[in-house]
Amino acid sequence: MKTLIVANWKMNPVNQKEAKNLFEAVKRGIKSVKNTMPAGRQVEVVICPPFVYLNLLKGLTLGAQNVFYKEKGAFTGEVSALQLHDSKVKYVIIGHSEARKYLNETDDVINKKIKECLHEKLKPILCIGETAEEKKIGKKAEVLEKQITEDLKGIVTKEIKNIVIAYEPVWAIGPGDNCSIDETMSSILFIRKVIFKLYNRAISDNIRVIYGGSVDGDNANSYIKNAGANGLLVGGASLHAEEFLKIIRSVK
């Protein structure tokens, strides 16, 4: 299984020039990393810029940061999976805590978005995670189980292999506290347990579960090596080409 490193640029950078510069710097760096990579150890890098930059950036795998659940029509301000597919997008971040918070995305809407992406052969990166408050009152497991169950409702065994789950404890995103390696490991195991309950052993063993939340060049490798994450979803650190490349180099 390739290690998946996803850059979530969020609503950055502020202009096309900066977006192109960042993308090209990452692209150049990845080329040199690939030349030194040991055979058999592969890293898949996905860049998720704001929609407006998608068609400017070429030469690395692209992801989108959100999507709408209808194919086309009178849905002002929205972008469809069909349109993303046409823009050569391969992955779509769905259910990010910022979309749950600022756009009031519900599990029902997230479920529809996942289904629409699968229909258009896009790979959803489903973000789940508990808030600081939910963790404090001991509801982490309940929250994760509810999100997984409702977000994946109606998605059948043969489709699930195209889904990536990103465990993103909300309290660890941005300048928040780091989630310890032990806690990340136990959350990832719990996520696999829920997938086992909903599907089967093979799916639970093989589904990609990545980690996101204050990852940088210094801690990235521990999340892969010691916490058992199959990859990383990187926010802030992905806006600095050198730091992002450090993450890629450290996990290869």
The set of catalytic residues is 96, 168
**Measured distance CA(18)–CA(12) in Å, rounded:** 9
- Residue 7 is given by DSSP the state E
Considering beta carbons, is residue 159 or 183 the nearer one to ligand PGA? Answer: 183
Q: Give the residue closest to ligand PGA by C-beta.
A: 235
Provide the mask over 174-193, with x wherever binding to ligand PGA is found by CB under 6 A and - wherever it is not.
x-------------------
Residue pair 212/168 in contact by the 8 Å Cβ criterion: yes
Work out whether 213 is an interface residue with ligand PGA (CB under 6 A).
yes
Question: Do 204 and 196 contact (CB within 8 A), yes or no?
Answer: yes
Report which of 251, 204, 207, 201 is spatially closest to residue 226, judged by C-alpha positions.
251
Q: Does residue 48 touch ligand PGA according to CB under 6 A? A: no
Binding to ligand PGA (CB under 6 A): which residues in 137-176? 168, 173-174
Displacement of CA 169 from its chain's centroid (Å): 13
Q: How many whole angstroms separate alpha carbon 81 and alpha carbon 91?
A: 10
Among 94, 233, 241, 251, binds ligand PGA (CB under 6 A): 233
| Binding segment toward ligand PGA, per CB under 6 A, in 59-67, 103-111, 114-122, 208-216 | 208-216
Minimum gap (Å) between residue 6 Cβ and ligand PGA: 8
Q: What letter represents residue 153's amino acid?
A: K
For ligand PGA, which residue of 155, 234, 248, 251 counts as binding (CB under 6 A)? Answer: 234
Q: How far is the CB of 19 from ligand PGA (least distance, A)?
A: 17
Burial of 90 (0-12, 13-18, 19+ CB in 10 A): middle
Please report how the helices 16-35 and 241-251 are oriented relative to each other, as an axis angle in degrees rounded to 10. 30
Does residue 217 touch ligand PGA according to CB under 6 A? no
Tell me if residue 38 falls in helix, strand or coil.
Answer: coil
Q: Provide, rounded to whole angstroms, the least separation between the CB of residue 149 and ligand PGA.
A: 22
| Residues contributing to the site for ligand PGA (CB under 6 A) | 8, 168, 173-174, 212-215, 233-237
